[in-house]
Amino acid sequence: MAKALSGIKPTGGLTIGNYLGALRHFKNYQEDNELFIFVADMHALTLPIDPDYLKKNIYDIVALYLAAGLDPKKTVLFRQSDINEVGQLNSIIANYIYMGELSRMTQFKEKSRALNNKEIGVGLFTYPVLMSADLLLYDTEVCPVGEDQVQHVELARDIAKRINSRYKKKIFNIPHAVVSGVGKRIKNLQDPTKKMSKSDERGSKGVIYLIEDDEKSIRKKIMSAVTDLGTEVKYDEKNKPGISNLIQIYCTFTNKTIEEAEKIFADSNYGNFKKCVADAVLNELLPFKAKYEEYRSNMDYLNSVLLDGAERARKIAEVVLKRVRSTVGLI
Ligand code: TYM
């Protein structure tokens, strides 16, 4: 039985990228692993965010987790900031991570660029340190994430190995990222060369929002997705990034392979193909969204899930932190 852990930042506007790359897979880890899934609320502070919006988003994510099939009796479902131990572990391991390593992180570079390299908070720079603390505090072995988070998980691996070797004992498990095949990097429908991201401007036509978009707007966004020259529904990321992205979305929602999809749409035009993509997306998303609404309206239940999850997470965190403190000499 492996220990699996993952989390999502409550920065609002979750997309089908988050769903296909991460959220949808979490429940698969629930039966045969010890699963920890959390709301990464401290990470949400790494870029400016309105406090009321953040509070709302935290509950949105818990309801999404439940709608995605996570059973809080099986999965430890909690909020990152409820566990004080993560702050202390963050401070300890920060001493074993080098500035050069953090400056090389792609996400840091992208996000600093988006800020025009001005007023970059130290928290944004040390984001992967906190993420490593998340992973190491719960003895994580497996971390299901989308492709954009792999570099961060790899850094956590390096740090765990570095600290274990410094003290010549196994203090930390070595986590590794598990990335789903198709769906690992869903692209923007209007610009299929870049990732579909929740940090794109609000209401973007190229982004399908899990909560905000209804059936009509999901259909509209898919039907007006940018396509490529030619008429063939064929997977070719380089020459046909738009169609390839839609094939990925279709395949993930229908659990079909790319070859199967290409066969089905061999005689199809782009319009008909897009309609089938929209049907596939809605077939799964509409019932998912209905479940989400039901959980989201029950604040007492959401609070009780978080309370119970925090108690269970804290029990593990206390043991691991104690082990770390005594190893580095803090007792
Ligand atoms: P976040 O909130 O940015 O994204 C949540 C998950 O969604 C995946 N994802 C995508 N997958 C496919 N296509 C896309 N277009 C797409 N966009 C996002 C992400 O890879 C991620 O798995 N740093 C994390 C939160 C975190 C965390 C952790 C995760 C904090 N500590 C420890 C794992 C373990 C983040 O910001 O995810």
Instruction: State the pLDDT confidence band at 117, using cuts at 50, 70 and 90.
Output: confident
324 lines ligand 1 (CB under 6 A): no
6 lines ligand 1 (CB under 6 A): yes
10 lines ligand 1 (CB under 6 A): no
Indicate if the pLDDT at residue 163 is higher than 90.
yes
pLDDT reported for residue 181: 80
Instruction: State the pLDDT confidence band at 1, using cuts at 50, 70 and 90.
Output: confident
pLDDT reported for residue 220: 97
Does 191 share its domain with 250?
Answer: yes
22 lines ligand 1 (CB under 6 A): yes
Tokens (6 digits) for 77: 């479902």
Indicate if the pLDDT at residue 203 is higher than 90.
no
**315 or 331: which carries more pLDDT confidence?**
315
**201 or 93: which carries more pLDDT confidence?**
93
Does 320 share its domain with 171?
Answer: yes
Does 175 share its domain with 196?
Answer: no
Indicate if the pLDDT at residue 299 is higher than 90.
yes
284 lines ligand 1 (CB under 6 A): no
Q: What is the CATH number of the domain that holds 89?
A: 3.40.50.620
pTM surpassing 0.85? Answer: yes
Question: Choosing from 27, 74, 111, 194, which is the catalytic residue?
Answer: 111
**Residue 217 domain boundaries:** 187-293
Does 171 share its domain with 306?
Answer: yes
Does 37 share its domain with 156?
Answer: yes
CB atoms within 10 A of CB 50: 10
Listed in sequence order, the residues at least 6 apart from 120 whose beta carbon sits closer than 8 Å to its beta carbon are 111, 112
Distance of CA 52 from the midpoint of ligand 1 (Å): 22
Angle 98-172-178 from CA coordinates, rounded to 5°: 85
Listed residue (77, 78, 62, 63) closest to 30, CA to CA: 77
> How distant, in Å, are the alpha carbons of 138, 275, 324 from that of 133?
9, 44, 11
Q: What is the CATH number of the domain that holds 196?
A: 1.10.240.10
Distance of CA 131 from the midpoint of ligand 1 (Å): 11
Does 15 share its domain with 108?
Answer: yes
pLDDT reported for residue 12: 92
Q: Residue 220 catalytic?
A: no
Q: Whose CA is nearest to atom 16 of ligand 1?
A: 17
- pLDDT tens for each residue of 29-56: 999 999 999 999 999 999 999 999 999 9
> How distant, in Å, are the alpha carbons of 32, 191, 233, 255, 285 from that of 274?
37, 16, 10, 17, 16
Number of structural domains (the chain) is 2
pLDDT reported for residue 116: 86
pLDDT reported for residue 201: 73
Tokens (6 digits) for 4: 């699996």
- Beta partners for residue 328, in sequence order: none
Instruction: State the pLDDT confidence band at 198, using cuts at 50, 70 and 90.
Output: confident
State the residue for tokens 């994510």: 61
Does 245 share its domain with 305?
Answer: no
Mean pLDDT of 84-112: 96
pLDDT reported for residue 180: 84
pLDDT reported for residue 229: 86
- pLDDT tens for each residue of 239-266: 999 999 999 999 999 999 999 999 999 9
Indicate if the pLDDT at residue 268 is higher than 80.
yes
Tokens (6 digits) for 187: 């692209």
Mean pLDDT of 4-17: 96
Does 196 share its domain with 242?
Answer: yes
Does 249 share its domain with 319?
Answer: no
CB atoms within 10 A of CB 73: 9
Does 213 share its domain with 132?
Answer: no
Q: d(Cα 193, Cα 304) in Å, to the nearest integer?
A: 42
Question: Going edge to edge, which strands form the sheet with 76-79?
Answer: 76-79, 33-39, 2-8, 142-144, 176-178
Does 126 share its domain with 191?
Answer: no
Indicate if the pLDDT at residue 195 is higher than 80.
yes
- pLDDT tens for each residue of 211-233: 999 999 999 999 999 998 888 99
154 lines ligand 1 (CB under 6 A): no
Question: Choosing from 9, 184, 187, 198, which is the catalytic residue?
Answer: 198
Indicate if the pLDDT at residue 129 is higher than 90.
yes
Does 169 share its domain with 198?
Answer: no
Give the atom of ligand 1 at the shortest distance from the alpha carbon of 147: 20
